[in-house]
A and B are shown apart, each in its own frame.
Chain A
Amino acid sequence: MTAVIVNGAKREVHAPGDTPLLYVLRNDLELTGPQFGCGLAQCGACSVLVDGKEVRSCVTPLATVAGKEVTTLEGLSARWAKQKGLSGETAEKTLHPVQEAWIAEQTPLCGFCQNGMMIKATELLEHNASPTVAQIKEAFTSGVSPHLCRCGSYTAIIEAVQRASSEMTKGSKA
C-alpha cells in the first residue's frame, strides 16, 4: 500500500508500486483530468504537479510519489483557494485563474492536451508571475519534452497564460 497526498487529501492506494501514477489517478482514484497520450513522457497530456513541479504521470511509478503532494486538474481550484486564503462558499465557487483564462480565451479545440497545458501554466505562473512570451514558449517546450497540441492551440494557450498572469498579479503591482 502506498500513501499519497492527492489534491490535499491523504489517499491510500493498493496498486503495485511500479504502476504509473497516471493509471492510479484515473482508475483507482477516479481523477480523470490527466490523459494518456503517449506513455513515453513525450507529449504532456498526463501532467500533474508533484510537490509543485510538473511531472509526466505516465512514466512516474506510484512508489516514487509516496508521501508526496500530487495536484491534478481537479485540484487546481482548491490549490488557488488555499494560496489566496479563500474558504467556504467562496472557495467552492472559485476556479483557478488559469482555468478561468482558458475559458475566457476559448483555448481548447478538441481539448485533449489541455490538462497538461493548464498544469504547466500553473507551475510556470507559481514561479514567474509575469512571464514574457519567450518565457512562456520556453516553459512549454523545455523539460522532459515539449507539450504537444495537435489542434494547434498554441496561440490561444499563450493568450490564456497572459490573461491568467494579469489576473493572478492583480493588485500586487505598483
Chain B
Amino acid sequence: MITNERQTTGNTTDVHGATLSRRGFVKTGGALTVGFALAAKDGFGQGAAPGSGNSLNPATPESWIEIHADKTILIRAGKPDFGQGTVFTAYRQIVADELRVPFEAITTVISGDTDRTPDGSGAFDLLQGGMPNLRKVSAYVYQALLDLGSQELGVAKDQLSVKDGVISGGGKSISYGDLVKNKKLNLSIPVKGDLGSMGGLRVDGNPPLKPVSEYTVVGKSFDNPVTISKVTAKETWVTDVRLPGMLHARVVHPKTLGSKLISAGPLDKARFPNAQVIVKGNLVGVVAPTEWEAIKAAQQVASGTKWSDWKGLPGNDRLFQFLREDADWKAVPPATSKNSKGDVASAIATSPKKLSATYQLPYLKHAPIGPTIAVGDVRPDGTVHVYTHTQNPQALRTAIAHMMSTSTGNVVVRTFAGPGHYGRSNGGNAGAEDEAVILSKELGKPVRVQWMRQDDLQWSTQSSVAYSDVQLGLDTDGKLVGYQIDHYMPAMQDDRLVGAVLAGLPTMPGPGENNSTLAIANAMHDPWIYDGTQTVLERAYGTFQVGQKSSPINVGLRDHSLRTPGQYQQNFPREIAITEAAVLAGKDPLEFRIQHAREKRTIAVLESVREASEWGARTGRSKDTGTIRRGQGVSAMLRSGTYWACVANIAVDTSSGAIKVEKITVSVDPGIVINPMQLKRQIEGGSVMGVSIALHEELRFDESGVVSSDWQSYPIATMADLPEIKVVMINRPEVGKYGQGSEAANALAAPAIAGAFLDATGKVARRIPLKPAYVQSLLRA
C-alpha cells in the first residue's frame, strides 16, 4: 500500500511502506514494535461513529499515540498537512509537552489517511481554539501512564514526576519504554461528532492538562521535518503517485458553466492509437497510457466536441448591479451579530457627521500553483481507493461513497503533499478526485486525472464575491455613536463533486434554502472589536450562487471558502469604513481604533503595530504632493482567538496609477505562540497573499463562464511586489490557549493598503483590486 507515514527522526524524513511508487517508496528497516497494547474498555462500536468503516477506532488510545518499547512515539491525526506544517511541528510539540517527552521522541507522524487515522476533519482550524484532539488524548494517556507507573513502582501517583519520558518517585524510576513493554491498560477515549463531517470527531471530557507555565517544548522553534524531503526531491507528492496499469487522463470540460454535451469529438486514432474517449453524461474523459498522448488526444477531441451554448451569468461588468438588483437576498433570513445593540438608525440620524458607503470584493481564485490531481482506483472487489491532496479526507471519502452508491467502508482516501489550495478542499474535494474514480470505474484500471491550468482556473470553485453597505455616525467629539453594516455574499461553500454533477451521478445537493450542510445563509464571520461604539447593527445576507439555478447542468459559478473564509469579505469593508470614519472625525486612524476598543488584547496589538511600524500619528492626510505619494494605513481583526493588527506603507505613482506596497508590519497575539519560526513564515506568506489580493486578483468571467485561463489573465503577486515584512509575535502564555496563526494574515493587507491609499491621496478606494486603471480613475475623480 501507498502510505504517507513519515519518519521525523533526526535529519531524515522518509515516506515508507509502499511498493507501488515509481520512485520506490523508501522501505525503512526495523519495524516499529507496539509495546503499549491498550485495550478499549468498552466497545466504542463502529455504529457509534457514523462512517467510521475501515478507519481506526477513536476510542482506543493506540489509534492516536503509540509508545514503543524503544522509547519512540508515533502520533496520528486525521487532519493532513497543507503547507502549514502544524501536524509535523506544533502537534508534536503539544504532545511532547503533555507526555513530558522530548520533541525528538516523536519519530513518526501519520496524518490524513482515512484507514490509518482516527478523527477526520480538515487541514484548517488546526488548533481548534487551543484544543486539538491530540492534546486531550495525550493528557489522557499521560494519566494512564502515571497509573501504570504507580503500580509498577509501588509509589503513589501523586508522588511521581516525569521528565524526558522517565517516571520517578520514591527513589525509583522507569522509562515509558520499559513501562509499556507487554502491558495492557484499560483506557477508553471519549469522542463525539461525525467522522465524515466538516469538523470530524472531537475528543471529549476534561483530562488534566499540563500547566502552560511548565511547558518546555511549546514556545520553541522547531524545523518542519518535511522540508528536507521536499527540497531534496525525496517527498512523494500527489503528482508522483503511480499504480501498476495506471492510465493518464485529461477531462474535456464543457464549453460554458451551463453547457450540455451534444457530441464528443471523434478521436484521431491514427495520431493517438493508444488513447480512448470515455463519455458519461456531460463528462468527457480522454485516457492514454502516456501522459503526453493523453494531453494531445484530449486537445484534439476537445476541438471537435460540440456543446450547447449558455449565457446565464452577469459577467464582470454587470456583477454588482446583478447582485444588488437581481439576486434574491430574502430566500433566507439574515444573520445578525451578537454584538448588535441599540437603536442605530436614530443614533446615525442625529449624528452631525455621517458616512454612507458601499464596498466591493471580487471573486477570487484559490489558484494553487499546481492544478488539482488525483488517482482513482476502483478495484474488482468493489473497493475504491483515492490518492489525492485533500484537506478533508474523511469528507471526501463520504462523498465518493455516496457517488459510487457504496458504503464508506469500501472507500479509502490516502493523502499526499501537493500544491496548497487554501480552503478549496476543506469540504472534501478539490476537483479531480471524483473524475478519477468515475473513469477508473469505467475502465477497470487505475486512472490519474490531472487538470490543465485552464481547467483549474475555469472549472474549480472560487471564493465568493461580496459587497457591504455601511452607515455610520459620529458625535461632535468624533466618537462612533452608530455603526451599521449589511454584508451580502452568495453561498460560499459548494462541496458537490463536479465530476459527479457532470456525469449525472449522486452527490449532495447544491447550496439551498433548506440545506443544512450547504446552506445559502450567510453568517457573521468578522467579530466586532470596537466595543466602545454606542449602537451597532451587523447583518449578513446570503443567496444562491450566481448562475447556479439558471445553469441547465446546475453548475454556474460555484464558490468555496478561501483562507480566512467569509471573514476577509467582511473585514475589508469594516476596516476601510473605520479608517474613513477616523478621517471624518479628524482623528488618527490607529488612535481612533484604540479609542473605540475595550479588549486589552485588541488595544495591545494596535499599540504594538504602531510602535513596530513607526507609525506617524497624524490627523490630516499625508503631506505628499509629488508624483509619488506615500501613505500609511492600518487594519485590525480578531479570528479564532487570535488578535491581529497590520500597518501598510505604500507609494502611489499618480502618473501611472501603480501602487507599490513598501512595508507590511503585522502584530499578532495568538495566545500561546507554539513555534515562532513557523508562525513567522506563515504570516509572511499570508501577508504576500494579502498584497496579491489587494493589488492584482480578480476573477474575469463573461455571460457564459470563466475567462481567466492562465497566470496572465489571473495574475498573482510576484517577488517584484514583495514589501519589507515585519512580524511581531506577542506570546501570552497566561491566556492558556493557542489561536490560529496560519490563517488570517492574508485578510489584513487589503484594508490597510486601502487606508494607506486614502492617506496618500485623499481618495477612497472602496473596492479591490487596486489596479492602475482603477487607481487612475479614483485620482481623476
Contacts and interface: CB of A to CB of B under 8 A. Distances in A.
A32 B417 contact: no
Contacts of B226: 111
Nearest to B368: A150
Interface string A93-137: 001000100110011111111110010000000000000000011
Overall SS of chain A's interface: loop
A24 to B, nearest CB: 9
A150 B689 CA distance: 7
Given A32-B239, A106-B227, A111-B230, A39 B291 contact: no
A96 B450 CA distance: 31
A94 B692 CA distance: 37
Nearest to A77: B232
A17 B648 CA distance: 51
B368 A74 contact: no
Given A23-B290, A42-B711, 10 more contacts: A31-B233, A39-B452, A42-B712, A103-B231, A111-B231, A141-B720, A150-B422, A150-B716, A152-B692, A156-B681
B719 interface: yes
Contacts of B232: 73, 77, 95, 99
A108 B227 contact: yes
A147 B722 CA distance: 13
Nearest to A32: B240
Given A99-B232, A111-B227, A38 B711 contact: yes
Given A30-B22, A74-B233, A150 B420 contact: yes
B653 interface: no
Contact of A20 (B239, B292, B420, B711): B292
Contacts of B228: 103
A1 to B, nearest CB: 15
Interface string B362-377: 0000011111000000
A18 B296 CA distance: 11
B227 A155 contact: no
A114 B239 contact: no
A49 to B, nearest CB: 14
A27 interface: yes
Nearest to A160: B231
A45 interface: yes
Contacts of B22: 27, 30, 32
B677 interface: yes
A37 B85 CA distance: 22
Nearest to A116: B369
A111 B417 contact: yes
Interface string B423-465: 0000000000000000000000000001011000000000000
A27 B290 contact: yes
B688 interface: yes
A42 B84 CA distance: 25
Interface string B686-728: 1111001000000000000000001110001111101001000
B700 to A, nearest CB: 16
A169 to B, nearest CB: 21
B678 interface: yes
B239 A137 contact: no
A154 interface: yes
Given A32-B233, A35-B370, A112-B237, A148 B223 contact: no
A40 interface: yes
A15 interface: yes
Contact of A106 (B371, B450, B681, B686): B681
23 contacts: A16-B292, A23-B291, A30-B23, A35-B239, A35-B369, A37-B370, A102-B231, A106-B677, A108-B230, A108-B231, A109-B85, A110-B368, A110-B369, A111-B231, A112-B370, A112-B417, A112-B420, A136-B719, A147-B719, A149-B369, A151-B83, A154-B718, A155-B688
Contact of A43 (B82, B291, B369, B418): B369
A148 B417 contact: no
A12 B23 CA distance: 18
Contacts of A31: 233
Most buried by A among B232, B692, B717: B232
A72 B231 CA distance: 12
A102 B233 CA distance: 13
B235 interface: yes
Interface in B334-364: none
B243 to A, nearest CB: 13
Contacts of A107: 227, 231, 681
A3 B754 CA distance: 55
B449 to A, nearest CB: 13
A83 B703 CA distance: 57
A153 interface: yes
A64 interface: no
A146 B23 CA distance: 30
A43 B94 CA distance: 37
Contacts of B66: none
Interface string B229-252: 011110101011000000000000
Given A32-B240, A106-B678, A23 B292 contact: yes
B14 interface: no
A157 interface: yes
A102 B227 contact: yes
Contacts of A150: 367-369, 419-420, 422, 689, 716
A107 B230 CA distance: 10
